[in-house]
Amino acid sequence: MAGNRTAVVVGVGASDGLGAALARRFAHEGLDVVIVGRSEDRLRAVAANTGGRGRRVRPFVADATKEGDVTALFSSIRPGSLELVVYNVGSNAMVPSLDISKALFSRMWRQNALGGFLVGREAIRSMLPRGSGTLLYTGATASVRARPPFLAFASAKAALRAVAQGYAREFGPQGIHVAHVVIDGVIRGDYAQSNFPDFVAAKGDDGLLELDDIAQTYWTLHTQPRSAWTHELDLRPFKEDF
């Protein structure tokens, strides 16, 4: 890719979703952005509506749980340009604990812990030669609290949190800022509106996390001075109980 600064957002789907909002913010800040997901059509739709300051937004179709896809992704980025990577992959499933299948439990683990490990490993390998870079992970309430019917999701998100902690402790002293963001609430976007519109309506004004506000926090993490890095923070609407 052209340019001297590159961001990668892994886990981009709907145009009105967090991955797309992050891509828009990073492009606005002057970075070239690689958006990664499994649906080429969705990626192209996001890319067509994203850009800023003449920077490029490039779709890359990949499955974050497949090692070959992840290594190909980072091999496609110009050496020395990688500045920021966000791992935003993960789907939820409401299933009573005794009804969780081995396949579902394994899929949750692969999407969160395994994918987060693979992307983080390749991102850090790319960043270490320049001695700087930011690696951000999107977590959830379930990252720190398991409750039914989200046992499979919680175990996977807790494992992703452990991956982030391990990378932060090992590579922070080498200049790589690794942070984990706990999204403690519902995001206003396509997913919530499509799956539980009544809940969205009941929350009213300021009752949901706004996409651009979350993206602002991710950018703030990236621009923090090295003497005062945050490893973990949680985000919720001011109305949210916790």
| In the chain, where the domains are located | 6-235
* Dist. CA 144–CA 179, nearest whole Å: 15
Q: Could you give phi then psi for residue 174, rounded to 5 degrees?
A: -100, 10
DSSP, collapsed to helix, strand or coil, labels residue 209 as: strand
Q: Tokens 């996390």 correspond to what residue? A: 209
Quote the CA–CA distance of 242 and 240 in Å, as a whole number: 6
- In whole angstroms, what is the distance from residue 108 CA to residue 75 CA? 26
Predicted confidence (pLDDT) per residue in 207-235, tens digit: 899 999 999 999 999 999 999 999 999 99
Query: Rounded distance, CA 171 to CA 68, Å?
Result: 23
Q: What's the predicted TM-score (pTM) here? A: 0.93
Distance CA 89, CA 112 (A): 7
Is 37 a residue whose pLDDT tops 50?
A: yes
Q: pLDDT grade, residue 52 (50/70/90)?
A: low
Sheet containing strand 133-140, edge to edge, reads 57-61, 32-37, 6-10, 82-87, 133-140, 176-183, 232-235
pLDDT at residue 195 greater than cutoff 70: no
Lowest pLDDT segment from 64-78, 153-167, 189-203: 189-203
**At the topology level of CATH, where does 6-235 sit?**
Rossmann fold (3.40.50)
The rounded distance, in Å, linking the Cα atoms of 194 and 190 is 6
